[in-house]
Structures are given as structure tokens and as C-alpha cells.
Structure 1
């Protein structure tokens, strides 16, 4: 067996990859591994990745071959890649596209409407449109034809290499196939939708020059694929602040069709509308808002996930699902697709004849439904590492700090006897955090500072301490927009916000975020909160992200898990004790991202992996 000690990687037979952080080739290896493997743990010296079928299929959808993957592993590995791993990678990646879904010759993709209830029409005996599942491998088609989960969607066996499936269940067929290990390549095409000429402006309505950046153009091309049936569905992954909305506008220009845009909240809906009016040729009467406050259905309609999944006390189904049939949409855009509600997956499975674009900063879903995003929205079409955009100054340079404060003496007994969930809340709301938060805000008094938290009572206390306004889920939209406007204009320097500001809030001048509590170990939330401050800045173009946590508690363990995604992107957290941070701030000194930076992990067993090199 060959041994190459200069390399940073060990490939294990269980499909885990161990990557040495202190190796000169670490960064190059990490960038390559991110294309086809998932980061699992990131203690300070060795990071653990795992190769999974879904990670390999996303790589395959982006053009990687099994040979590309194996060459990368051989290039960086200390030892030979185990033969079983080689075989598994080849077999798994070979499965992508082994089964294809096509339309009968000369036939459109099929009905794209949404029924009121799942199962309506199945087995009714009436004539239905059909699509064809085909594979050159007869044994695979035989296996699929006899699988009990697929049988309800079959119409008939056409021949040895083709099955007819009910076109109404196109999405359900794809879900089944990805779960049994045969990710289908959907080539059945799309309905074009009602035409709507859309052009991007060379100069915005506000009078600024405008054009897509090079990576935004690449993202549009990767999704659109010249309008062929091989494109038109999938997910674009870009960091917050990198212009995912602009990519959406670029795709809309390509499609030039009536478009339904789904987003997270009313603020995000209005930001989409503002961008459309500023940067495209669309007029105001062509853009509708479909939210709890307005029900406008126009050629471009922007709706919230909340209104789609809203049901009254007497509703047996979702009354607003009718929006999907209200126009001849040719394109559906899912903003923040990692937050797509489970109920919207059901609708999405039934509109597979529409082009579908997902936009997100992270494919991580806390409910584990990444496979449904893959099969129903589409595979990852484009991804660019955050640090690459940072180096090109398209997003701000981020410095991340974790500051650990002791649990307040008055809470030690309550914490000791509490249940696990209550332990986390006690640690999160630790009043010992408050002096540090005040010192950080005072230190950055000339900058735009967001203080972000989870618990309303804690946020209200912080707002009183800082004499700063607060935005929560209870804040009326008009008041939210007024406060956001004051913050963006610089009239307001500090804003206290709940998790309503995690998503799709455009605050370009925010340069400091202080996180005082979060949602357990949510990796996606950590990414979104850092993203609030990543838009390019004047001057040094540096953003600072502080996470204030209670040491030696469950909050510290969950914080390590939260930081996992950002570690994958190449960020490290500098660790400080509360006393050390306070002494530096009192002396007017900056906390340094150098020298004390460590990577963190939260192991599967829940134990802390290393305490790093934090100063006492």
C-alpha cells in the first residue's frame, strides 16, 4: 500500500473521510471535497466528511464523474483509496440518470394542475396523460416495475425498456425513485407558460449601472441550459449577500413567462418587488403581492409560504393552494428553499411540468428532507464557496467569534435539575450575557449593529438595556419596514431582532451581528444570521459575527453543531472567555480573529470535541 505522508486525507472503508486541518494542502482538499461529500464533524485538528448517495448525485448533476471523484481522493489521500469505496462511488454515480423520464413523442409534458386532495382521480378508469420511464438496463426496469411504492403510479408496461406512468404523479414517481436508489433524470420537458416579456435593465430605475456578475451569469446558464429539458429545474446555492435574487431575475429574463415567486415573509416579498421594479422592464401593475395583507394575482405574483400553508378552523385542505392554478405559470421560484414547508412539497410534486428554481445559501435542512428538494425542485445546479466570493470582495470578509460567559450563580441549581429543553433555554437566557452585549454594542457604536436572539423576553430586556428598538413576529409590517428603513439609512445604529430577521432581509450596511441565543443546533440558522452582515462594505469590507454563549452547558454543545456549516465554508471561530473579551473591550482593543481561532464540533454522541486554544 502506498503511503504519502505529505497528503492531508485518509479515506476509510465506511465512506468517512478524515482531513487534517494543519496540513498545507488542507484548503485545496476542502474545496474539492465540498463538491461531493458532507462535513460531519470539525474539531480543531481533523475534520470528518462522509460520502453519501445524495452528495454524489448532486456532484454528478453538476458534471462530476466517478473518475473525477476518485482522482480527487487519490490526489489528496495518504493511503490508497479502499477498493470497496471505489466500487461504491462508481456504482452510486452510475445510477444518476440510469433511469430517464421522457414524454411520448410529440406529446406535451402533461397536466400541471394541482388538485384539492392528494389521490384525487387515481384509479378512476378515465383516460390520463402518461410519461415514459425508460432504462437501457432491463433488470433495473424490472426491479422498478415490481417495487410496491411505484406500482400505484404505473399505467402499463410498454416493452422491455419502457414503463408508462401517470403524468399527474410525475413528482411522486421521482420521489420514490430517489428513495430506492435510482435518481431519475427528468427529460419530460415543461409547459412554456403564458408569455411575459422581461428584460434586465442596463441602468436601474434608480440611475445606477447594472449587470449580472460573472458568477451570477454562470449560475443562470447552469440552471437554464439553453432552455433544454436538461435544465429548467434545480437549486442555486450562493451565500447571503451574493445576489441570489439577481440570479432569479436573470432566470426570469431567460424564461420570459408568467412567474410565481414564493418567499419567507412580507418583508422579503416587498424586497423582491422592489428589485423587480428597479432592475427589470416590468411595470408595477404586472407584479402582485399575495400575502396576509393583500391578495393580488398578476403576471408576476410573489407569495409567502405562510399564506400558502394557512388553513382556517373549518378548512379540510389548503384554500390558497389554488394560487398554483390561478395563472399559466411557466416558472416557479422558491426563495430560501431550505425552509420550504413540508406541505408545499406536496404541491411541488404535482407541478413538475413547470420550471422550478430553488435559491438558498445552504442545502442543509433541519428536517432531513434534502432528498425531496433534490427530486422535486431539482439537483444542485451551481454552488460557489463563500470564501471564493470573499476573496473577490463580492461579499465582506467575515470574522467569527464565540465568547463564553459563565452561568449566573442564581441559575446554577435551576439548570442542574431542569429537563434538557429547559436547560437550553436557561443557558440561552443567562443574564451574565447582558454586560458583554452592552460592551460589544458600545465598542461598535459607529457601526450598524444587529443583536439577534430567539427568546422574546430576553430580546425585550436587551432592547431596554441598549435603548434600542426591537423587531419580533408581533411587530406590524409597517413598523418593521420603517425601522429597517431607518437602519439602512444610518439613522438607527442598533437594532434588536428576533428570528424574523434571519431570512431575506436586505440590510446592506449591517457590519456587526451579536447572536445572544439561537434555535438549538440549527446549522442553517447560523449561516443565515452571518449572511445578514455579508454584503460588501465601504472601507475595510470586514463583517464581525459574535456568538455569546454560556460555557459548560448544553448551549455550548449546540453552538458547536450550529457552527458546522460555516466551518465547511472555511470559517473558524476565535474563542474568548467573557472576562478576556471584556478586558480587551474596556481597553478599546479589537478581538482578534488570529491566533485564537479554532474549529469546533459536536460529536454524534453529544460530547464536546476539544476545547481549542482559547485564552483564560
Structure 2
């Protein structure tokens, strides 16, 4: 036990760990804790991490065990690790790998749940939920379950605290021959220049001796998650369904597939509100899958999962997976499943369902590691505190809690601040990102810039994105439709004027819009505008929590008043 009061952390019996931010070992401890704990609070003095069953199981999936976790925790802890917590970590991590799901050789309609000990299956026999799924004891260390309940069984066992390693196998799907193209468009005989970490992500997904086939790859925006997906597709050589977050993303996936592989236009279909093509590789949106003609009606397009003999399903932006798609995914556990995301954070708390139904985290690379290697841009994060005009303050004082946040988020002084920031970066391509349409429309009018919202036709969106990428449009205002999977490689300044309460994933995705490598010093700037002395500041602290865990620090500045054109009065509105 560490008896000297020198460690950077205070470890408590309730599975929380306090990390002292001013400690010289802060950076090292933050990187270590991120491997087996989740950041839950990030005030200036001490950051609070929580060790959860899921964080430990993901650590185990990455090769850690109880001894390695406890060794690191002892090394970091100022006053040691409570013995009760040691026992709890050992118990939770011992459960990872103690249950395995395999095909039942004698009955193809069943899967077999095997346990390391008979006592473990004795425990499971006490759960009514498992009996309702048809789990029946078939021997000292094995039980049987109907094959159709394979996903639901894993989901329920994870919820009860018993993760399962799924070795029940995957169907190959319909064969589809493809290869990488070289720069000249010819077939290439190798890795097409996949970066080392992308190749490693593909290898980790395939698992030992190619036995893998379900898992999540976590990489920051701009790090080439699409390339990882195409790398898995090229290795498996099978028909594939790709699910993503928007029609813009559908077009980008299709463009990448046609540009970088030998697949032709007849091989790659789009399944959106505008066109419905089911081809050997089909790219669809989550919105289409969850569309129904009436509230409570059937999901019209959910049968896309069974339209072809898919050998692989790729869930792009897997942290956005809607509940109905989880239910469908539970039914297709015999199909290989790859999740791609910049953050496993889900604001609905369903990370456990991603773990059980898509698979554990099979590969992750910290954002700052990629930054140091030059694969993503270095970003200065600045929180600009905006004053509240007197008339707005009067309305704010008498408003309810929800309305107070809305008033603070829509502070009209933010338009002045955004204009001043844009003027301070005259050579940059600037994105202004916000949540509320009335605020964005006012900003568009004041800044003289075009606005993209959910109502903007896809053709017009594509034209505006192209103009921005080509440098003909230096300033673009976007709503939350640009949070995900929009390829704007030359954007180097993002100004966040409002957001969805305390959404950590949204903050990460918005910063991700400017992460692609930049020429020269490879530098970008992320400004978040927050009204001072308001509820918006509370939510801003939560929003940036994931990025804090990744090593980003926010400099806080106050917006100074600016004289009017007449020079007579200070101008805040």
C-alpha cells in the first residue's frame, strides 16, 4: 500500500476516484484513469472519476486484468485503495470471460452458455428474466437457450452484471470481391496506405485468428474511422450494410467507397428519404430505419436488415444508435457488427447495450496521441464568457429553470462576440454552430453568412459545403445537422453559440469538425460562448467533460465591451 501522501488521487470505497488537478502527476494519472474509469465531474480543483462494471469490462476487453488495474490504482492513490473496493474490482473483472456463448452442436436451434464454475450457473438460475428468455440448465457448467434469443440473453446478462464472451460464430454472408485502388485508379495489392493505427483497429476487430466479428472502434473525428470500416470490409469480402446518421454521411460513405475501392456505382446503394437502392453494399440512415407512418405504427424500413445476406453491418456514429435499432440488432447476432464512434458516451445511459449487442470496445486511441503524431490538428479551446444585457437579465431572473437556460443560450450579445472572433481569424474558414433556429437566423442576418439547418434541401447543403471546402465561402452557420459526419477538412475555427444542455457527445463532435490536419502549424481554434452568471455555465462544465478526459483544457476569457460606431457608449447588443 502507498503510505506516503504523494499520490495524485484519492480513492474511495464508493468506486469514485478524486484526481487533484494541480498535482504534478495529473497528466499521467488522467491518462491511466481513462483506461478503466469514467470522468463524471470536472471542477477546477479535483476531477471525479467513477469505476463502473462497464468501464472495467471494457478495460478487460483491451487486455487489462484486476492485478494491472489495482497496481495502477495503488500507484496513483495517496492513501491506498480501500480493501472493499479491491475485492469489488477483483469480482467484477473476474466475471469478464467467465461466461461464454457457443453454438450447440447437437441442436442448431440452440446456443450453449458455458461457465467456468457450476456455482456461477447456480447464481443465474435465480433470475426470472433469464428463465423467460428460455435459459435452461443442461449440465453442471452449461445451459441452453433458443438461438433467436442470443442477443437478448447477452443484453440481460450484461444488465445483471455478468458479461458474456460470444463465440457462437458468424455467418460469412454473400461473397463480394473488392480491392483497394491505387492513386491511379488501378487495383492495389496491399493496405492502400492505411495508417498504422487504422490497420491495428482492423486487426483488433478481426480478433485472434480472425475469430472476432463484433466490437467498437473509438477514434476522434478526422482520424479516419471510415477508412477503418472500409478496411474491415476489404478483409471480409462480403456484402455489407452501413448505417449512419444523415443523408450527407450516406453520400460521403458512397463517395469514399467508389474513390478508394474497386466497387462500382452498381455495387453501392443509398437508402434515404430521396432514393432507396438495396445493393451489395448499402448505406442507409438511422432515420430511415426508424421511420413509421403513424405514431405507434410499424417501422416501415426495418426489414432492410434482412433484404440481403449481409456478412457485416457497420454502425457509424454508434453512440447515436436509436432504441428500435438496438431491438433489431438483438435479432441479428449471427452477423458481424462493427461500431465506429468518437466517443462511447451516450446521454441516455445505454452504453451497456452497445457493449452487449454491438460488442466491447476493441480498439481506442487517445485524441492527444493522434495530435502528437500529427494525424489531427492541435486545438486551442476557449470559453468566452458573455455578459447579459440588463433587459435580458430582468427576464432571466423571473423565468423558470428551463427558460433561464434558453434565455442565456440565446443571449443576443453572442452575435457581437462571433463577429469579433471571425474578424480575428481573417484567413480562416469559420463555422458557427448552434442549437436554436431563431438565434441562428439572427446570426446569419447579422454576419451576412448562409445558414444550414434540417430544413435546407440536401442539394443546397452539398453546394454550400462544397463552396466552404473550396474557399469560396469563408463563414458558414450550421445547426445541429452538422454535428456528425460532415466532411469539412479545412475548417479551422469553430464558434459554438449554443448547445443541447450538458451533452458531452455533442461537444466532442463539434470540436471534431475542426480536427482534420491543417497545413503549416496544424492548429485550430474552438470557441464556446457562454453567458456569465447563468445556468448555461453549469451545463458548459458538463459539456466539456469528455474533452477534459481526453486532455483538452479550456482557457476562460471575458468578452470586453466594445464602443459603438459613434464611440459614445459601450455596446453589448
Match of 1:220 in 2: 202
Query: Are residues 1:186 and 2:132 paired?
Result: no
Match of 1:595 in 2: none
Structure 1 residues 106 and 508: CA distance shift in structure 2, 3 A = farther
Structure 1 residues 204 and 458: CA distance shift in structure 2, 3 A = farther
Is contact 1:400-1:545 (8 Å) kept? yes
Q: 3-state SS of the aligned residue for 1:481?
A: helix
Is contact 1:204-1:279 (8 Å) kept? no
Query: Are residues 1:523 and 2:504 paired?
Result: yes
Shift of 1:183: 0.4
Query: Are residues 1:396 and 2:403 paired?
Result: no
Cα distance in 1 for residues equivalent to 2:164 and 2:544 = 33
Query: Are residues 1:321 and 2:302 paired?
Result: yes
Which of the residues 275, 278, 282 maps onto 2:256? 275
Query: Are residues 1:411 and 2:397 paired?
Result: no
Q: 3-state SS of the aligned residue for 1:496?
A: strand
Provide Cα deviations, 1:365-397, integer angstroms capped at 9, x if missing partner. Answer: 010000000000000111111011001110000
Q: 3-state SS of the aligned residue for 1:441?
A: helix
Match of 2:522 in 1: 541
Match of 2:121 in 1: 141
Is contact 1:141-1:161 (8 Å) kept? yes
Q: 3-state SS of the aligned residue for 1:234?
A: strand
Cα distance in 2 for residues equivalent to 1:428 and 1:153 = 47
Is contact 1:175-1:376 (8 Å) kept? yes
Shift of 1:90: 0.7
Structure 1 residues 458 and 172: CA distance shift in structure 2, 3 A = same
Match of 1:289 in 2: 270
Q: Equivalent residues in 2 for 1:547-558 (5 A)?
A: 547-558=528-539
Shift of 1:145: 2.7
Cα distance in 1 for residues equivalent to 2:294 and 2:428 = 46
Query: Are residues 1:506 and 2:487 paired?
Result: yes
Structure 1 residues 548 and 362: CA distance shift in structure 2, 3 A = same
Match of 2:132 in 1: 152
Q: 3-state SS of the aligned residue for 1:310?
A: coil
Is contact 1:100-1:135 (8 Å) kept? yes
Match of 1:34 in 2: 34
Provide Cα deviations, 1:451-507, integer angstroms capped at 9, x if missing partner. Answer: 000010110110111111110000000000000011111111000000000000000
Cα distance in 1 for residues equivalent to 2:25 and 2:57 = 26
Cα distance in 2 for residues equivalent to 1:204 and 1:271 = 20
Single out whichever of 68-77 and 220-229 deviates more from structure 2. 220-229
Q: Equivalent residues in 2 for 1:177-576 (5 A)?
A: 177-203=157-183, 205=185, 210-226=192-208, 228-229=210-211, 231-313=212-294, 316-576=297-557
Cα distance in 2 for residues equivalent to 1:79 and 1:218 = 38
Is contact 1:201-1:210 (8 Å) kept? yes
Is contact 1:197-1:257 (8 Å) kept? yes
Structure 1 residues 78 and 156: CA distance shift in structure 2, 3 A = closer
Q: 3-state SS of the aligned residue for 1:328?
A: coil
Cα distance in 2 for residues equivalent to 1:82 and 1:564 = 26
Is contact 1:130-1:155 (8 Å) kept? no
Shift of 1:155: 5.7
Single out whichever of 53-62 and 75-84 deviates more from structure 2. 75-84
Is contact 2:290-2:325 (8 Å) kept? yes
Match of 1:593 in 2: none
Is contact 2:315-2:337 (8 Å) kept? yes
Q: TM-score, normalised by structure 1?
A: 0.89
Match of 1:603 in 2: none
Match of 1:162 in 2: 142
Is contact 2:435-2:498 (8 Å) kept? yes
Match of 1:597 in 2: none
Shift of 1:227: 5.5
Shift of 1:284: 1.1
Could you tell me which runs of 5 or more consecutive residues in structure 2 were left unpaired when the two chains were aligned: 564-573
Q: Equivalent residues in 2 for 1:67-146 (5 A)?
A: 67-105=67-105, 129-146=109-126
Is contact 2:180-2:260 (8 Å) kept? yes
Q: 3-state SS of the aligned residue for 2:207?
A: helix
Provide Cα deviations, 1:324-357, integer angstroms capped at 9, x if missing partner. Answer: 1100000000000000011110000100000000
Provide Cα deviations, 1:520-571, integer angstroms capped at 9, x if missing partner. Answer: 0000000000000000000111110000110111111101110101000000
Cα distance in 2 for residues equivalent to 1:335 and 1:102 = 27
Shift of 1:105: 2.8
Match of 1:66 in 2: 66
Q: 3-state SS of the aligned residue for 1:159?
A: coil
Q: 3-state SS of the aligned residue for 1:154?
A: coil
Shift of 1:404: 0.7
Shift of 1:313: 2.5
Structure 1 residues 493 and 549: CA distance shift in structure 2, 3 A = same
Match of 2:569 in 1: none
Shift of 1:104: 1.7
Alpha carbon RMSD of aligned pairs, Å? Answer: 1.8
Structure 1 residues 454 and 314: CA distance shift in structure 2, 3 A = closer
Shift of 1:48: 1.2
Match of 1:172 in 2: 152
Aligned residues: 561
Cα distance in 1 for residues equivalent to 2:346 and 2:106 = 39
Shift of 1:202: 3.7
Shift of 1:259: 0.2
Cα distance in 1 for residues equivalent to 2:272 and 2:380 = 37
Cα distance in 2 for residues equivalent to 1:17 and 1:146 = 33
